[in-house]
Each structure stands twice: as C-alpha cells, then as structure tokens.
Amino acid sequence: MIVQSDTVFTDPKDKGPRGYLVRPSDGQAYPGIVLIQEWWGIEPHIRDIAQRLASEGFVVMVPDLYHGQIATEPDDARKLIMMLRSNIEIALREVELAAEYLRKDPGVSSKKLGIMGFCVGGLLTFKMACRYPHIGASSPWYGGGIDPRTEDISKINAPMLAVYGELDGGIPLAQVQAIESALAEAGKNAEVRVYAGAGHAFLNPDHGAYHEASAKDAWARAVALFKTNLA
C-alpha cells in the first residue's frame, strides 16, 4: 500500500501537536496509532516504523517530543532524554495532544486509538495506557523505568503487548517480572513477552542490537494486536 506523509507543526502558543503524520494515500479512513520515539528523536528508523504501520492500514502520528531536534550520538541522546524525563508530565501532555489530534482527524475511523513506543517511548506508552481513556490497544517496547507500584494499573482498559529483550542490560528481568505480575494481579488483558537472545532496541537496525527473529515475531504480534482491537 502506498503511503503519504507530512510533518505537522502548529503554533506552540495554541498548544497543538508537533509531529510526523503518515496515512495510506487512498483517501479511505483507517484506525489511528500514536507512535512514540526512542531516545534519538524522530530519526529515520522511527519514520520507517510509522510508514510500515501506515502500509498495514493505520493513520500514524509521531509526536515530536524533542521539538525538531534529533540525536545522532549517544551523548546527545542522553542529554535530550534527561531533559524529557525531568519534564515527563509535559511529554505526556504532548502525547495526549497528538492522540486528540488523531481522534479529531476525519481520516481516522475509530475514536479508540492504538499507542506504541520504544525505549523512553515504551515508558510513555505504559503511562498513557494507565491514564488515557481512549486507547484500544497498547504496545510498549523495552520501556525502562516502569515501577508498577506507582502506576495506576487499574485504569488500563485495553489489551496490551509489552515487549522486552532478555539481554537488555538497562531493564533487569526482575523489573519485567514485577510488571507482568502486577498486570496479572490486576486482571488485565496483557501479554509480556521476553525475547531470548535479544537486547535493547532489538527492532532498530541502525542504533540497536538488531535481532532479526525477535524483531519479526514481535512486529507481527503488535500489528495483529492493533488490527484485532482497532478495526
């Protein structure tokens, strides 16, 4: 399927979303997905993921949480992510603005949205699933820093697929197991998958430790999750 893309910038004074928008080019309405960046920003890998989702039949909005900045070196990414984490409520508000933008888009067929994010985007995806009521399915990937004791897991109201790599040095398996246990104890429709042999950012062929078998399996499961629950 051919997709069309555009960069959406609105006046910050209007508190509108800033981001990268991709949709199928056939003029039909499709379900919407909010896609949240890794710590690099809206780099080519994230744009590629957005285009892949659009080719599967979704309208995708990537909120620009770095406001035009893109990191190419780990030190720069670390500085940007530290700034974002220190203002995480602002980042969540910007993600919510992107979601509301999609919900009002006439080319989006459902008011329930999908949400998907990687690395820090995985953390923000999990937090949005715990607080934003208009989510039809969520998929946080290798999101570190999630403490299930401080998240309002009771408010998760849609299926979730949480993805991790067994060899991710930044996310201890004990943390992943605590998240899985908390979701199960709360009775949530959530699957936590840990991929053997995979490390952090295993979907990213440019910056991560790309692990082909895990990437293909996890991607197929995430797409199926959205197609099943957002149709």
Amino acid (1-letter code) at residue 1: M
* Residues 200 and 169: beta-carbon distance below 8 Å: yes
For the question of residue 67 being annotated catalytic, the response is no
Which one from 134, 168, 207, 211 is the annotated catalytic residue?
A: 168
Residue environment code for 190-202, b if the CB has 16+ CB neighbours within 10 A, otherwise e: bebbbbeebbbbb
Please confirm, yes or no, whether 200 is among the known catalytic residues: yes
Catalytic residue among 64, 130, 134, 200: 200
Neighbours of 165 (CB within 10 A): 27
Specify whether the backbone of 145 is left (phi greater than 0), alpha (psi in -120 to 50) or beta.
left
What is the identity of the amino acid at 97?
L
The span from the CA of 105 to the CA of 85, in Å, is: 29
Residue 130: active-site member: no
Instruction: Give me the catalytic one of 119, 130, 207, 211.
Output: 119
Contacts 24+ apart (CB under 8 A), 145-150: 145/85, 146/175, 146/179, 148/178, 148/179, 148/181, 148/182, 148/183, 149/182
* 93 contact partners, CB below 8 Å, separation of at least 6: none
Residue 136 CA to residue 159 CA, distance in Å, equals 7
- Minimal CA–CA distance to 121: which of 71, 85, 149? 85
Q: Cite the active site residues.
A: 119, 168, 200
